[in-house]
A and B are shown apart, each in its own frame.
Chain A
């Protein structure tokens, strides 16, 4: 960090501040690592009055472009350059950008990634700026702003949005099965017999002979439509859209404390019985086998009639509702033994790269992104739910105008049934350990108890 005392932006059109050796390093980095992967465009033609901003969701780019246009109108001496990259390439590009010191000035950050950036000193703490500009932090949905307080107590991002998990379904399939949609609001679940939730899943499962999962003569080996889809292709994200809503509703907690837990609970019986129940659906023929679910994403499977129910995040709402000829509905996650329903609650933020050429300009952009004005624009585009309460209410209204009731997501926030995404250090190592272990369990190769060993390995990372 160059400036310890934040100061107002002054137009600097003259000499670039980046010294020659650093630029050489950047150029060399680009040459050796491949222009495709690293952020070379920004490294070579850097202008301190240009703020480079990265995001990964192409669906959200129009909203943020509109924010950028407004911002540029207000700050004629600054230019915002938005770059969108697919999720996987996004993080690789960032890592290489950090090495070549050409990372974007501001970027969309994820809770599973930022702790490792903090320990490596890559993010600019925003505390002084927040204090100086008296940015109100209570306008955001409760808890979202504090997710970005590092273990060191410093603030590394301002919240931009939140998400929750729900159950997407094909309304025609439900009608065929004679299921009243209003019953979906009061589904119950438990790890022993799956409750009314499993009854519904069984009812919606149909084998090749047209026999339903709850009828005699059902052939679990030859299923045409699965009651519930299993999707394990997205990498390990603490079961966000997979098992987290059941395990939390079963009273489980992922870590000893959150954020900054140092002990994971994958050995907890409440977790393991949830996974055992989940895997049991495969054996019963209600959910595709681990091998069979790899490939085309769950929303396509729903559209193709291979699945009746799909658990997925609110950010996928637009995708699910965009299939032609498919009439989609959303239901809330089921009520568990705890007496409550649950969802993982994840929020993104915008962070500033510590090596930015112009921290003041970067801060102004982050501050604008987190402002009611920009978040209202994001709400009007209604792809995700903005972090500010009044802005996500706009999104809810826009969804409703499209005929989409997003209450199954928003009720979690209103009823306080959200569980924060586990924020810990070592997240990439945890993912590397947990992903194959969970796959081994779900493919039936290892017993659920095998997760005890992995849990020990994970907890050793924190010693």
Chain B
């Protein structure tokens, strides 16, 4: 695939004299065919499950489709309604709060964990253990924490009681529910994120560390002057992936708070689901999805630009 592009213009027709070093146009060769064959399953999957639904969703966002009767074009009605929908704006705000808490805590903790693994241990078992929470299904994790953090029966409040604190309604209190959800998912994703960063750390040339040690730099200085700058491309990737994932928070909410108390955890994805599958308002749900898509595309682009993800400081 990579070599096909440059040669293609020079070998556009059969009559053109073939370049000496390239007797047959590459793109007609067996190699390309094999490459296309390998790409095909992913491409079909992409077209069927991403491209087509995206286009259809875009179309449905301009209709009053209700899942069970045919879709009628309704112009910009859904988008106009969206502008005035307080629950929608609230859901954006709630999701943003979730993302900020989730990502900041998770990234900081994962970075710390990754550096610790990198600098202190070579144990594969330890790395495996760190990944364990990620191997448990989202729903199981959410429900386990839901019960552990229960106001009346949960073990967490029991332990808080031992040290003299009043019980906290982690999932039931409007001000606690979003931080609780965010931290539950930090717990689940921490190990995975740490391992991604750890992989990035392993790409950093060991010589740099030796040179720094010879020059007498301490661990903290090494971290800020060497590790962090050299890790930037990996961090950019990790952040883009986790932020986008974080914006799509749904399952944890669906099995625990279901949007409540009041609207405190009615995150965008849950609101979309609610509109589509509880109220059959697929047109409106599609419009919200389109807006969410635009927001995420913007966030990802901005992140890549800000973090100069395509450049490395390592030469």
Contacts and interface: CB of A to CB of B under 8 A. Distances in A.
A92 interface: yes
B152 A432 contact: no
B278 A120 contact: no
Nearest to B66: A120
A428 B262 contact: no
B46 interface: no
A251 interface: no
A188 interface: no
Of A292, A293, A295, A439, chain B has the most CB atoms within 10 Å of the CB of A295
A235 B259 CA distance: 11
A304 interface: yes
Interface string B67-99: 111000000000000000001000000000000
Given A292-B169, A306-B152, A428-B280, A435 B260 contact: yes
A61 B166 CA distance: 43
A435 B53 CA distance: 31
Contacts of A122: 68
Interface residues of A, number: 34
B203 to A, nearest CB: 37
A440 B266 CA distance: 14
B260 A32 contact: no
Given A290-B261, A291-B261, A294-B261, A95 B280 contact: yes
B286 interface: no
A92 B172 contact: no
A439 B174 CA distance: 11
A445 B260 CA distance: 13
B172 A436 contact: no
Given A99-B68, A443-B261, A294 B279 contact: no
Nearest to B154: A295
B67 A95 contact: yes
B152 A290 contact: no
Contacts of A116: 280
A294 B172 CA distance: 5
B153 interface: yes
B261 A304 contact: no
B257 interface: yes
A208 B297 CA distance: 53
Given A294-B151, A296-B153, A301-B152, A428 B279 contact: yes
B208 to A, nearest CB: 47
Interface in B124-151: 146-147, 149-151
**Which secondary structure dominates where chain B touches chain A?**
loop
A240 interface: no
Contacts of B146: 295
Contacts, number: 91
A170 B48 CA distance: 57
B49 interface: yes
Most buried by A among B151, B173, B258: B151
Interface string B5-21: 00000000000000000
A300 interface: yes
A445 B174 CA distance: 10
A439 B279 contact: no
Closest 3 A-B residue pairs measured CB to CB?
A294-B172, A291-B169, A291-B172
Given A95-B67, A122-B68, A296 B172 contact: no
Q: Is the interface on chain B under 10, 10 to 19, 20 to 34, or 35 or more residues?
A: 35 or more
Contacts of A288: 151-152
B200 interface: no
Interface in B236-264: 257-263
A436 B278 contact: no
Interface of B: 48-49, 53, 66-69, 87, 146-147, 149-154, 166-167, 169, 171-174, 257-263, 266, 274, 277-280
B153 A292 contact: no
Interface string A91-105: 010010011000000
Contacts of A293: 151, 172
Contacts of A429: 279
Given A294-B169, A306-B153, A439 B68 contact: no
Interface in A228-278: 235
A92 B150 CA distance: 27
Interface string A210-228: 0000000000001000000
A289 interface: yes
A306 B258 CA distance: 24
Interface in A290-319: 290-296, 300-301, 304, 306
11 contacts: A95-B280, A99-B67, A120-B280, A288-B151, A290-B172, A294-B151, A294-B172, A295-B150, A295-B154, A296-B150, A428-B280
Contact of B173 (A32, A92, A235, A291): A291
A267 B166 CA distance: 37
Given A95-B280, A116-B280, A295-B153, A436 B263 contact: yes
A445 B48 CA distance: 46
A342 B262 CA distance: 28
A419 B87 CA distance: 33
A428 B278 contact: yes
B174 A443 contact: yes
Nearest to B281: A429
A436 B262 contact: yes
B64 to A, nearest CB: 13
Contacts of A436: 87, 259-260, 262-263, 266
Contacts of B261: 290-291, 294, 439, 443
Interface string A389-432: 00000000000000000000000000000000000000011011
Contacts of B174: 291, 443, 445
A120 B260 contact: no
Nearest to A300: B153
A291 B153 contact: no
Contacts of A432: 274, 278-279
A92 B277 contact: yes
Nearest to B255: A88
Interface in A120-176: 120, 122
A290 B278 CA distance: 24
A229 B214 CA distance: 68
A440 B262 contact: yes
B278 A294 contact: no
Contact of A292 (B87, B149, B172, B262): B172
Nearest to A440: B262
B209 to A, nearest CB: 47
A454 to B, nearest CB: 12
Nearest to A293: B172
A31 B257 CA distance: 29
B172 A32 contact: no
Contacts of A443: 174, 261-262
Contacts of A431: 278
